[in-house]
C-alpha cells in the first residue's frame, strides 16, 4: 500500500484521541481530582485535540463504587460537571467493555448525554456481544468505534472474520490495539494494511491504540498513520497501564495540522502529570514491562512486580519465562 | 528497496555494537569503575554481542586528564587491564573524534593494540580530516568505520558528497547518526536506502547510531535494519547523552540470531545500570530532550536544564523556541 501523506503536509482525516483518564485511570484506579480532569479538558480544547475519552462506563453491579474513582463509571452527570454543555470543538467519548458494562441500562439516549462517541472494547471471541453493543449505541444516536484487544495473541483468520463482522455493522471506526506492547513497526504496517482494506471496503475509519512496553508506542502510532490509519490514541505523559501509551506530547509534536498546539500539552504535563509522578504514581517503560511485551504476555505480572517494588529483573525474567 | 530479512529468521550480517562506555561516558564524564567496565565486558561476551566500544581516544593536550575518567582517553593499556589478551569473540573498538584526537601519535599499530576497530566521528564539513584519519588507521592495520554526525542539519547534497568520498576510501563501514534524536522512522528508511546504495556500490557495510529524544531510538534502529543496515549500536539501559540511545535489552530482545542472549543483558542492567541511576546519574527520555529533538537542535540546552533540576518544561520550551 502506498504511503498516505508525508512529513511536510497534513492529512485532515487524522483525529487525535486523548485517552489519559481512561488508560491513565488504570494506574490510579480512576481516582483523578476534578481539577485534574477539568485542566485536562481545557488543555485538550486549547491543543486542538479532537476527542477526549473519559473513563469506562463500568457496571456498578459488578464493580464496587467505593473501590474506584468515578471515572471507572463515567456517568453522564459526572462528565457534565466537568464540561457543562461542552460548547467546544472537542468531542467526548467513553469506553464500554464487553461483559463489564450494563449498556442497555447505563448508556442513555445521545440526546440526554454529553458523550459523542461510545468506544466498545472486545476480545476477538466476544464479537457477537460487541456487535450488540454497537447496535445499541448506534440506535441511541452515538458515534461508535470498536477496539479489538490483544490481537497479538489472536489468529489472523479470527481477526479477519471479526473485521468482516464489523464491516457489515453500523460501527464508524475500528481500532488496532496492541494490548501487550509486543508488536513491531513492520508488523503494525502489515496489520494496518489489513484493517485499512476492510475500512476502505466498508467505509470505516481505522484507529490505533498502542502500548509502550518496547518503547514503540509512538513509533507504531505514526507508522500506522503512514498506512492511512487516522484515529490516533495518546495520553498526556504517556500515562497508562504498565508501560503506558503513546505520549500526547510526542504525537502533537509530530503532526503538522496547524490546529494542533504543542504548548498547552507541555504545560499540562508540567502542571498536572509531573505532580502525579511526584505523588508516587508509576507508569512508563521499565524492564518488567519490556519482558512481558517481548514475550507477548499480558502485563499483569509486570505490574504486580513493579507494585511490589521488585527490581530483580533477572529473577522476574526467569519467573515469567518459566510459566508455560 | 525491498525489505531485508523478516521477523522469523535472522541475518548473519548483523553485528551489535555495545556503546555503553563511550556514549554513557558522556553522562558521567567517563568515570566508570573498573568493576563496571569488567562486568560489562563479561556481559557482552556472554550475550554474544559483536563489538564493545570503549571510550574516546581524546587528545591529552586538549583535555585535562584530571577532569575526566580514563575512558575519555581509552589507552591501549587501560583496555588491556580490562580484557587481558581478549581471547573471546567480542571485538573491541574506540572512537576517534575529528579535531579532538592526536591520531598520528595516539593510535598505535594494530599489532601493538587490543583494539580491532577505530570508529571515526566527523561532521560533514570535516570530511578531509576524517579521510586522513581513516587512511591512518587503515594503514596501521585496523578495521575502520566513519560516523557522519548531525545529518539532520546537513544538506542532502553534502551528505551525498561525503558518502561518495567515503565510498572511495578504505573505510569498512559508514554510520547513520541521528545526533539530535530528531529523525522519524519514515525518514530513517529513506536515509538508510541512500546509505545502502553507496554501501552496495562500494562494498561498505552501513551502521546506525540512534538517540531517544522522541522515543524512537529502538524503532529507528530496527527500521534501518529492515533496509539492510547491519551494524547496530545500543547501550545497556539506553545509557547515553541526554535522552540516551537504543537500549541493548530491546535490541537483543528483537534479534533472532540464537547467538544473542537476553539474560546476561538483563542481569547486567539490574546489577550495574540500576545502581548508577540510584547514585543519581540521569539519562533517558524527558520533555526537554523531546523538545530539542522536536526542534532538531543539539541537546545541550536540555542537558543543562536537566542538570539544574529544572522541570518548568513550558518555560524551557519558550526559551529554546525563541533562540533563533
Q: Tell if the CB–CB gap between B214 and A250 is shorter than 8 Å.
A: yes
pLDDT score, position B6:
86
What is the nearest CA distance from A41 to chain B, expressed in angstroms? 18
Does A7 score more than 90 pLDDT?
no
How does pLDDT run across A209-224, given as a tens digit for each residue? 999 999 999 999 999 9
Is residue A5's pLDDT more than 90? Answer: no
Choose between B247 and A9: higher pLDDT: B247
Inter-chain touch B215–A254, beta carbons under 8 Å: no
Q: How much is the pLDDT for A292?
A: 96
- pLDDT at residue B2 in the model: 76
- 8 A C-beta contact, residue B162 and residue B136: no
Contact between chains at B267 and A313 (C-beta distance less than 8 A) = yes
Residue A9's pLDDT is what? Answer: 87
What is the full per-residue pLDDT of chain B (324 aa) written as tens digits? 678 888 888 999 999 999 999 999 999 999 999 999 999 999 999 999 999 999 999 999 999 999 999 999 999 999 999 999 999 999 999 999 999 999 999 999 999 999 999 999 999 999 999 999 999 999 999 999 999 999 999 999 999 999 999 999 999 999 999 999 999 999 999 999 999 999 999 999 999 999 999 999 999 999 999 999 999 999 999 999 999 999 999 999 999 999 999 999 999 999 999 999 999 999 999 999 999 999 999 999 999 999 999 999 999 999 999 865
Residue A12 sits at the vertex; the CA angle it makes with A6 and A15, to the nearest 5 degrees, is: 105
- Please tell me the predicted confidence (pLDDT) of residue B101: 97
Chain B residues with CB within 8 Å of chain A CB:
3, 7, 184-187, 212, 214-220, 222-223, 226, 247, 249-250, 253-254, 262-263, 266-267, 269-270, 274, 285, 287, 290-291, 294, 311-314, 317
- Mark yes or no for CB contact B185/A187 under 8 Å: no
In tens, the pLDDT along A236-254 reads 999 999 999 999 999 999 9
Q: What is the pLDDT of residue A2?
A: 76
Domains, in order of start, for chain A:
15-278 (3.20.20.70), 287-321 (no CATH)
Q: Which of A46, A216, A224 to mutate to test the interface with B (most CBs of B within 10 A)?
A: A216
Q: Which chain A residues contact residue B212 at CB under 8 A?
A: 215
For residue A312, pLDDT over 80 is answered with: yes
Q: Please answer yes or no on whether A217 and B216 come within 8 Å at the CB atom.
A: no
- What pLDDT score was predicted for residue B8? 84
Instruction: State the pLDDT at residue B1.
Output: 61
Selecting from A185, A226, A263 the residue whose C-beta is nearest the C-beta of B219 gives A185
- The closest alpha carbon to A52, from A10, A19, A101, A83, belongs to A19
ipTM over 0.90: yes
**Predicted local confidence at residue A59, as pLDDT:** 97
- Do the Cβ atoms of B267 and A7 come within 8 Å? no
pLDDT score at A1 = 60
More confident residue, B2 or A131: A131
Provide, as residue numbers in chain B, all residues whose Cβ is less than 8 Å from the Cβ of A290: 249-250, 253
Q: Check residue B7 and give its pLDDT.
A: 85
Mutate which of B5, B7, B186, B243 to test chain A, going by most A C-beta atoms within 10 A? B186
What are all long-range contacts of B192-199, with beta carbons under 8 Å and residues at least 24 apart? Answer: B192/B223, B192/B224, B192/B227, B192/B228, B192/B229, B193/B1, B193/B227, B194/B159, B194/B160, B194/B163, B195/B163, B195/B229, B196/B1, B196/B227, B196/B228, B196/B229, B198/B163, B198/B164, B198/B166, B198/B167, B198/B174, B199/B174, B199/B228
Q: How would you write chain A as a 3-class SS string?
A: CCCCCCCCCCCCCCEEEECHHHHHHHHHCCCCCHHHHHHHHHHHHHHCCCEEEEEECCCCCCCCHHHCCHHHCCCHHHHHHHHCCCCCCCEEEEEEECCCCCHHHHCCCHHHCCCCEEEEEECHHHHHHHHHHHHHHHHCCCEEEEEECCHHHCCHHHHHHHHHHHHCCCCCEEEEECCCCCCCHHHHHHHHHHHHHHHHHHCCEEEEECECCCCCHHHHHHHHHHCCCCEEEEEHHHCCCCCCECEHHHHHHHCCCCCCCCHHHHHHHHHHHHHHHHCCCCCCCCHHHHHHHHCCCCCHHHHHHHHCCCCCHHHHHHHHHCCC
pTM of structure: 0.96
pLDDT of residue A210: 98
Q: Chain A contacts of B187, Cβ < 8 Å?
A: 7
Question: What is residue B9's predicted lDDT score, i.e. its pLDDT?
Answer: 87
Calculate the CA A254 to chain-centre distance. Answer: 19
Amino acid at each position: 500500500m502506498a504511503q498516505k501523506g508525508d512529513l511536510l503536509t497534513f492529512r485532515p482525516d487524522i483525529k487525535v484521541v486523548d485517552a489519559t483518564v481512561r488508560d491513565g485511570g488504570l494506574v490510579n484506579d480512576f481516582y483523578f481530582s476534578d481539577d485534574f480532569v477539568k485542566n485536562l479538558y481545557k488543555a485538550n480544547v486549547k491543543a486542538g485535540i479532537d476527542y477526549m475519552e473519559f473513563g469506562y462506563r463500568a457496571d456498578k453491579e459488578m464493580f464496587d463504587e467505593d473501590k474506584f474513582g468515578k471515572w471507572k463509571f463515567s456517568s453522564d452527570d459526572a462528565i457534565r460537571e466537568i464540561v457543562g454543555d461542552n460548547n467546544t470543538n472537542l468531542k467526548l467519548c467513553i469506553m464500554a467493555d464487553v461483559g463489564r458494562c450494563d449498556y442497555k441500562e447505563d448508556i442513555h439516549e445521545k440526546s440526554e448525554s454529553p458523550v459523542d462517541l461510545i468506544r466498545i472494547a472486545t476480545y476477538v471471541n466476544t464479537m457477537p456481544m460487541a456487535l450488540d453493543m454497537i447496535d445499541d449505541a448506534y440506535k441511541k444516536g452515538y458515534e461508535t468505534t470498536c477496539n479489538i484487544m490483544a490481537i497479538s495473541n489472536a489468529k489472523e483468520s479470527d481477526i479477519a472474520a471479526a473485521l468482516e463482522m464489523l464491516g457489515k455493522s453500523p460501527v464508524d471506526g475500528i481500532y488496532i490495539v496492541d494490548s501487550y506492547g509486543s508488536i513491531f513497526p513492520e508488523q503494525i504496517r502489515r496489520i494496518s494494511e489489513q484493517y485499512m482494506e476492510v475500512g476502505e471496503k466498508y467505509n470505516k475509519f481505522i484507529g490505533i491504540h498502542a502500548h509502550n512496553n518496547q518503547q514503540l508506542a509512538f513509533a507504531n502510532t505514526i507508522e500506522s498513520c503512514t498506512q492511512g490509519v487516522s484515529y490516533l490514541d495518546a495520553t498526556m505523559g504517556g500515562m497508562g497501564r504498565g508501560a503506558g501509551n503513546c505520549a500526547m506530547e510526542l504525537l502533537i509534536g509530530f503532526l503538522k495540522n496547524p490546529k494542533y498546539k504543542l504548548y498547552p500539552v507541555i504545560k499540562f504535563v508540567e502542571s498536572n502529570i509531573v505532580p502525579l509522578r511526584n505523588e508516587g504514581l508509576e507508569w512508563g517503560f521499565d524492564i518488567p514491562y519490556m519482558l512481558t511485551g517481548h514475550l507477548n504476555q499480558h502485563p499483569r505480572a509486570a505490574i504486580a512486580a513493579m507494585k511490589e517494588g521488585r527490581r530483580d529483573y533477572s529473577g522476574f525474567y526467569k519467573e515469567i519465562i518459566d510459566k508455560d
